[in-house]
Amino acid sequence: DGAVALFVKARAIEITLAACDTAQDSDEILVPVLRIHRLMVQADESCARICAKAGLVPLIMRFLDRNVDQRPDQNTGAEDAVAILCDMASSGLKFQSLLVQHHVLPRFAKLLKVWQAMLGLHLERCAGEDTTLVLLDKLVMLCVSTIAELSTEERWHGNIVESKALRACVAVLPVARDARSVSEAARVLGNLGGRQPGRWIVLKCGGVKAIMDACARLDGKQGGSGRGMSSDVVPALDLINAMRNLCLHQRVSDLVMHGPGLRLLIDACIHCTDDRNSNAFATLVQMALSSEAASHQLLDRLMLTESVTYDAAALRSLRDRITAECARKSAHSLQALSVL
């Protein structure tokens, strides 16, 4: 902390950024500067404000534009550049406004497409894990996480759609190797699904199918831990939350009921004791309440679920819980109407 204070007091942030401008954004100078400024942005929000005011964001944008087609490695500065923007996106509305103003969303949509293509080619050519694969996974995750942070504010939803950042997240969701990327992409779709127009847009751009594909990659016996995904993060919670919002659209509810998403919801209700359980149960109740036909169909499908995976008694218990909660909610709604 003392070193950060001295750095700020000496106006080193402004001086180092001015040096980059003087050197015409020479990567030889810019790469170490990005590493320093990443540490500054992470250290303190006041430092992040100074960096932003001094022009760090447009500097990063120019750097990414120059290097968009270059395969990243540990020394190119790409990770530091994207991590700085990701940290800023999670630091409040003023920082988010700055990122949107400097067109971070369309840049990231393009970068995600390029880096996903690089990942595919590199996977074909290499026999196992290497530093390039690990770095590309991390870059994809940081990009998607930045978009996810922006998606928490409804005011940016239009920008996310128009910049094609939503489509980029949809493309990442079913194939990402890092489970954190799956979680963050699901968070984007779920946040946009918080309103009716967003639910329709997510459905139209293939987002629901992408969620079903991601659900199919999860191991139901382990509460949603990913097969073929790196990291210890369990993406099931964000997938469940996305389905909960999106299932308010009847078409989405039907797709979930007949897809791998239903199995994930059932698994969370039976095997989990955390938020996955309560949110999955709320989603199933919501699906059952959408119509009388949907209720019968859902309850029937519960009993048709593979008995090898779930104990029959556990499925009956879940079915009874859903029936009881639907009855309670229906009675409460009727009581409210009678008061009116």
* Mean pLDDT within 212-223: 72
**Dihedral of the alpha carbons of 329, 333, 334, 340, in degrees to the nearest 10:** 160
Q: Model confidence over 284-309: pLDDT tens digits?
A: 999 999 888 889 999 888 877 655 56
What are 166's two structure tokens?
């939503």
* Mean pLDDT within 30-52: 86
* Dmax (CA) of the chain: 74
Residues 6+ positions from 3 with CB-CB distance below 8 Å: none
Query: How many whole angstroms separate alpha carbon 79 and alpha carbon 71?
Result: 12
| Position with higher pLDDT, 15 vs 129 | 15
* Mean pLDDT within 219-225: 47
pTM of the model: 0.90
Radius of gyration of the chain, Cα coordinates, nearest whole angstrom: 23
* Mean pLDDT within 27-54: 85
- Average confidence score pLDDT of the chain: 86
Residues 6+ positions from 33 with CB-CB distance below 8 Å: 16, 17, 19, 20
Output the CA–CA distances (angstroms, integers) from residue 35 to 38, 79, 155, 157, in the order listed.
5, 9, 31, 31
Residue in the block written with tokens 């074909």: 124
Which pLDDT score is estimated for 221? 39
